[in-house]
Amino acid sequence: MAEGIRIGPLTLNYYGMIIMAGVIAAAVLSHYEAKRRELNADIIWDCLPWVVLGGVIGARIWHILTPPASMVEQGVTTWYYLTHPLDAIAIWRGGLGIPGAVAGGALALYLYTRKHEISFLLWVDIIAPGLALAQAIGRWGNFINQEVYGRPSNLPWAITIDPRYRLPEYRDIATYHPLFLYESIFNLLNMGFLLWLTRKMAHKLKQGDVFLSYLVTYPIFRFFLEFLRLDASLVGGVNANQTLMLLIAMAAAGLIVWRHRETIFPRQANEKPKHKDIENLEGTGEKNEE
């Protein structure tokens, strides 16, 4: 499979073009979401370069810190990247971690909103559906690079992986679960859910709730998807991505409940007064008349 389009001495890498297509689609969706809320949509395009840069740096750092097991077996470890800086920045070959991308992009957006004195929680909510859309599109870059595939499968939608991209213990097996496709479809559905949330539940939401909802839905899906993955990123023998996804989902869900605790756990109208309140009533000489 060709890696890109050659224009003279330059090569436009398919992986990079797909990632950029996802970024542009996310920006366009966020632009219209800002306009729907009657906000200055130019902010999206103004902060876009910083958010993308932060996301790419974060995504690459996460990959460098948590390389998949197959790369570790070949000697491509965190230490290898630290001692081979040119390989560390070669993102066109793949190797971008979603957790790092979200964290890096969110940090860049936070710094931008602080500088311009606008609400971080408001704008991260506006961008959240676009983030899901960017992931849905960007995952097709994994298809081009023949990465992010799952366990062997004979299902009708299983994909064929070329021998050079297969793990050593699976050299004789040709077809696998297309994890990139599962995640792409889920992210499209997640985008729809987040857009529905901003429209149908707007009167019940607080700023930041849409992004927190993303931090529940995507990590839960990713947690279960990791069970199908062959080439997990292991840290100390533990699946780093799966563990982190579980912790993020639990933390975000707990924060949503805490923020809406008065609605979820309303005080009962017929709640009995405390002992001190009874004593105060008795001290006034007031009595209930039958």
Q: Could you read off the pLDDT tens digit of each residue along the chain, which spans 290 residues?
A: 557 777 777 777 888 899 999 999 999 999 999 999 999 999 999 999 999 999 999 999 999 988 887 788 778 888 888 888 888 888 767 678 889 999 999 999 999 999 999 999 999 999 999 999 999 999 998 898 888 899 999 999 999 999 988 988 899 999 999 999 999 999 999 999 999 999 999 889 999 999 999 999 999 999 999 999 988 887 878 888 899 999 999 999 999 999 998 888 887 545 555 555 545 544 544 444 44
User: What pLDDT, on a 0 to 100 scale, did the predictor assign at position 88?
Assistant: 87
Q: Residue 223, Cβ neighbours under 10 Å: how many? A: 19
Handedness of CA 146, 105, 246, 253 (dihedral sign): negative
State which amino acid sits at residue 158: A
**Who contacts 111 (Cβ-Cβ below 8 Å, separation ≥6)?**
50
Backbone torsion region of residue 215, taken as left when φ is above 0, otherwise alpha when ψ lies between -120 and 50, otherwise beta: alpha
**Who contacts 75 (Cβ-Cβ below 8 Å, separation ≥6)?**
none
Between CA 173 and CA 170 the distance in angstroms is: 5
Taking 3-state DSSP, the helix, strand and coil percentages for the chain, each rounded to the nearest 5, stand at 65, 5, 25
Give, rounded to a whole angstrom, the gap between the first and last alpha carbons of the chain.
Answer: 89
Q: Find out whether 150 and 230 touch, Cβ atoms under 8 Å.
A: yes
DSSP labels, 98-164: HHHHHHHHHHHHHHHHHHHT--HHHHHHHHHHHHHHHHHHHTHHHHHTT-S-BSB--STT-EE--GG
CA distances 287 to 46, 281, 284, Å, are 67, 8, 9
Q: Find out whether 61 and 29 touch, Cβ atoms under 8 Å.
A: no
Q: Find out whether 133 and 183 touch, Cβ atoms under 8 Å.
A: no
Between CA 166 and CA 70 the distance in angstroms is: 10
DSSP 152: B
Contacts 24+ apart (CB under 8 A), 34-37: 34/126, 37/126
What's the residue count for the chain? 290
Return the bridge partners of 150, or none: 229
Between CA 12 and CA 84 the distance in angstroms is: 24
Q: Find out whether 222 and 245 touch, Cβ atoms under 8 Å.
A: yes
User: What pLDDT, on a 0 to 100 scale, did the predictor assign at position 10?
Assistant: 73
Q: Find out whether 105 and 54 touch, Cβ atoms under 8 Å.
A: yes
Q: Residue 148, Cβ neighbours under 10 Å: how many? A: 20
Residue 9 three-state SS: coil
Q: Say what the pTM is.
A: 0.85
